[in-house]
Amino acid sequence: MPHADFVYRPANDAVGLPLAVSIFADSAHLREEMRDDVAAAGLEVRECGSLAALFEGDPRPLGEVVLLDCPEVGGAELAALNRLDMRASRAGAHLVISTSVAALDDVFACCDLSAPQILVDPSRAERVIALGQVLARVPNLRLRELAEDERLTLLRLTEQVGQIAARLERLGDEGAPRWNPAAFRFESPAPAFTGPGGEGGGDRLARSPRPSPPDPRLVRTIIRHRQLRAKFFDAELFVDPAWDILLDLTAARAEQARVSVTSLCIASGVPPTTALRWIGQMTQGGLLERVDDEADRRRAFITLSDRAADGMARYFTELGRNPKAI
């Protein structure tokens, strides 16, 4: 289907907002939905069409926000995603990419520069939340059609990631600098810690020895116990996946195994889009790190940061002193 472009004129009360949006999707119905949601947010649709423009390497400027639906990936799609990732990174554009479980690892590996939001088979509400998350990073903008419960979902997510990081930090080195709470909100973090003399590193307080990683068999046992709950209780009682993500990556680190983003989404026990939102927030907060496969640039993995790994190791060391707590 050939791509068609148009410019949407926003409502009078939206004139002057700094963000324009580019929409790319092969489904005409989906394009209309995304266009309606962008218009309801009071933003301007710069262009709306199929993926053909991206595949052809169209040089026209992108919007400050790009909504892209790419459920399948082949050679052309991978090349287009790589170009889009570089263009968005250089321009400072925000990407929101929807895809499928089958294509998730390829899409994730292609987009390592622009830090996109990746949604897996998302509902319309999930796309609206993703758009709201973009706009929440931009001062003096408001998303009129983002429902109150969706706003609370975003706030709850960032608050809980911050609480988890704080708990892990308390298990870590008491003399190490504190993590900046701003890293868990939709704002820019403060500058990195520096010592009293203004230099980072030489004047830091001495760190305690790094703890040994836990026995992966113990971690896997705890994971199985957590999964067992779903046999007896409604799974929605246990909806926050952060601890499951940390446990799975802790076991993998001890086993010297690599974890793909798809595998981690499965281990989280929540829908992939929800898991990806948590993974993104935990990465921004310094709990997780992305590691590209040096042998195959089309693959990437997720691992614990050293600081999170230290916190988890100290947690299991403490747990070993009180095995009845398991």
Each residue's pLDDT tens digit, 193-241: 334 344 444 443 345 566 778 888 889 888 888 888 878 887 667 767 8
* Distinct helix (H) and strand (E) counts, the chain: 11, 8
Kindly report which listed range (49-53, 67-71, 96-100, 154-158) carries the lowest average pLDDT score: 154-158
Name the residue type at position 272: P
pLDDT of residue 19: 79
pLDDT of residue 244: 93
Which DSSP category does 14 fall into? G
Which tokens in the block code for residue 294? 């040096």
User: Please, which pLDDT band fits residue 144 given cuts at 50, 70 and 90?
Assistant: very low
Each residue's pLDDT tens digit, 24-60: 999 999 999 999 888 877 788 988 888 877 766 556 6
- Domain spanning 216-325 has what CATH number? 1.10.10.10
pLDDT of residue 234: 77
Taking all residues of the chain, what is their mean pLDDT, rounded to a whole number? Answer: 75
- Fold annotation for 12-146: Rossmann fold (3.40.50)
Do β-strands 20-24 and 65-69 pair in parallel, antiparallel, or remain unpaired?
parallel
Instruction: Decide whether 12-146 matches 216-325 in CATH topology.
Output: no
For the chain, the domains span: 12-146, 216-325
d(Cα 326, Cα 323) in Å, to the nearest integer?
6
Kindly report which listed range (19-23, 163-167, 205-209, 285-289) carries the lowest average pLDDT score: 205-209
Is it the case that residue 319 has pLDDT exceeding 50? yes
Better-scored residue on pLDDT, 167 or 80: 80
**pTM greater than 0.85:** no
Kindly report which listed range (3-17, 39-53, 221-235, 282-296) carries the lowest average pLDDT score: 3-17
Cβ atoms < 10 Å from Cβ of 280: 18
Q: Got the DSSP string for 35-76?
A: HHHHHHTT-EEEEEE-THHHHTT--SPPPSEEEEE-S---HH
pLDDT of residue 163: 56
Yes or no: say if 282 and 163 are a contact pair by the CB < 8 Å rule.
no
